[in-house]
A and B are shown apart, each in its own frame.
Chain A
Amino acid sequence: MSKNSEYLIERENKQYEVIIGLEVHAQVTSESKLFSQSSTKFGAEPNTQVSLVDAAFPGMLPVINEFCIEQAIKTGIGLKAKINKKSVFDRKNYFYADLPQGYQISQYKYPIVGEGKVILDMPNGQKEIGIERLHLEQDAGKSIHDIDPNNTLVDLNRSGVALMEIVSKPDLRSPDEVNVYIKKLRSIMRYLGTCDGNMQEGSLRADVNVSVRLKGETEFGTRCEIKNVNSIKFMQMAIISEANRQIDLLEEGKEIDQETRLFDTKRNETRSMRSKEDAHDYRYFPDPDLLPLEISQELIEKIKSDIPELPDEKKKRFIDKFNLSPYEATILVSDIETSNFFEDVIKNSDVKLATNWITGELFAVLNEKNLEISQSPVSTKNLSKLINLIKDGTISGKIAKTVFEQMIDGDQDPLIIVKEKGLKQESDPKAIEELINKVIENNSDKVAEYKSGKDKLFGFFVGQAMKESKGKGNPQLINKILKEKLNG
């Protein structure tokens, strides 16, 4: 990274660097839970997706979901990580109202996936972020504090849902990098179909580790962990606020306590989460109800053979094959739905025009209407028809915009719009010449001015000719004939 783009926080001639590591909790897209057969579906009535196992009734035992294991391996492969053929499920012991077993089944010493990496496309080049590990674990239930004024209510629908915890190395250095990292991780998992990445529904959350140090320092400072932040915006706010808090402490000559903190989104500040007396001691030990998880090479190979083209590879292909700029390619591959949309459109139409129309007009509409590309009001079929109309000169780019505006309303066929509204471009040289003659006749004074050297007036004549054609005149032809007439 070039020096001037470094993210530094300044204090009286001093510059602090912010060190960030993320523990992302990604919900595995599975039908049933990690160790039980309850549904994982979002939004059900409280406690209706709870089995005896999820509620930790006496004598209930966990049986592992094969699909969740495969999804973890798949994600590991997507992160270019080492798949561990033997891993162990441990119990993480602590008491909480929404943790029915009194422990969470997780992986501690021996995770299913080891070291990997994620490549970030930053404005000034690529940056590699190391992945420390990925492990499988159970989600907890939900404590609800705002229904009953005197009690906390517990809903166990989420209890036991499979999560992948993806731990990054402390390689992130700015809120911007965090933004790009989360989006990239989300993109990879969506390409793989291992996590839907839906942050509103809590399918993707993160614990953020933040520490600060003076620029140039090589040792890490004491870090604090901000728990369970559920949007990128809040992660960025939390990082900035927490980094500044730590710097303030250092500036006052105080020490930073290593602790778990909570981000208060209303007050935009982090605060200590649990009292010291309750210092964490999770008493991890291998879950005796489960055996070590052994994965065969065959299974790994089978999953490998099913891995689709991932964003980095797709981006390279788009650049090499379609001659897109890295910037354009990055945008088009950022989301699997977008890249699929793009590839569908260019099956039958021009790549350059398709790129411009998708990243330009279409994205503007989606943004304005707050839609995902999967909900695009214009289908790939009709968009490629529109592009072909431009390409073969049937309509001008300007007319195309008018047509597009109408297409949005119920995915109308551009061919029909052009026909019904008579928007077809006038490309007959005779007809163009006729209307240009008319313009010249009607503006003899301007013609004289032009001929005496006022070149700027050329644009005026183009405008008049276009007006005369009711906007349908082929611009290239108008230009060409006008030039001949005026300069000849």
Chain B
Amino acid sequence: MTIDLKTVKHISKLARISIDDEKANKLKGDLNNIFEFIEKLNELNTDNVQALTSIAETTLRFRKDEIKSENIREKILKNSPEENKDFFVVPKVVE
């Protein structure tokens, strides 16, 4: 199968990465090369194979329902691109 320009643009939209036509064309070529190489998997019949869900040889551990009640707002907001002492700030969202 081949990935066309429209698909490249759709994927970039889903991934929230803007790309211009030149980049999209370059990516189209790269992705097709990579997928050609990935298609090798189709040689294998995996109908009766159970998909691997985790490689860690253990089961999910549970944590107690306890609060570590420190207010770290200052730390949380310290690295934010737009300064505000109470909130994260993003461009106006119109729903």
Contact = CB atoms under 8 A, between A and B. Distances in A.
Direct contact of A and B (CB under 8 A): yes
Nearest to A49: B71
B66 A294 contact: no
Contact of B60 (A64, A151, A281): A64
A52 B13 CA distance: 28
A293 B88 CA distance: 33
B35 interface: no
B39 interface: no
Interface stretch (A1-9, A282-290, A306-314): A282-290
Contact of B63 (A65, A281, A286): A65
Chain A interface, >50% SS class: loop
Contact of A144 (B59, B71, B75, B87): B87
Given A48-B71, A48-B73, A31 B84 contact: no
A51 B59 CA distance: 25
Interface in B81-95: 82, 84, 86-95
B87 A32 contact: no
Given A47-B77, A152-B90, A273-B95, A292 B84 contact: no
Given A37-B66, A64-B62, A292-B53, A154 B95 contact: no
B78 to A, nearest CB: 11
B72 A150 contact: no
A63 B58 CA distance: 14
Contacts of B76: 47, 50, 52, 55, 156
A291 B89 contact: no
A30 B61 contact: no
A292 B54 contact: yes
Nearest to B58: A291
A31 B62 CA distance: 15
Interface residues of A, number: 49
A94 B18 CA distance: 16
A294 B89 contact: no
B56 interface: yes
A67 B67 CA distance: 12
A145 interface: yes
A67 B65 CA distance: 6
A412 B20 CA distance: 78
B89 A151 contact: yes
Nearest to A37: B68
Contacts of A294: 59-60
B34 interface: no
B92 A151 contact: yes
Contacts of B73: 45, 47-48, 50
B69 interface: yes
A303 B62 CA distance: 16
Nearest to B86: A46
Nearest to A162: B65
Contact of A148 (B60, B65, B68, B89): B89
Contacts of B75: 52
A150 B91 CA distance: 7
Contacts of B62: 64-66, 69
Given A48-B73, A50-B73, A288-B54, A32 B66 contact: yes
A39 B67 CA distance: 6
B14 interface: yes
Contacts of A152: 89-93
A69 B63 CA distance: 10
Contacts of A49: 71
A-B complex: 7 closest residue pairs judged by Cβ atoms: A66-B62, A67-B65, A153-B87, A37-B68, A154-B88, A291-B60, A152-B93
15 contacts: A31-B66, A49-B71, A63-B61, A63-B63, A64-B62, A65-B63, A95-B16, A97-B90, A145-B92, A145-B95, A152-B91, A154-B89, A154-B90, A155-B87, A290-B60
Given A291-B59, A294-B60, 4 more contacts: A64-B63, A65-B64, A95-B16, A152-B91
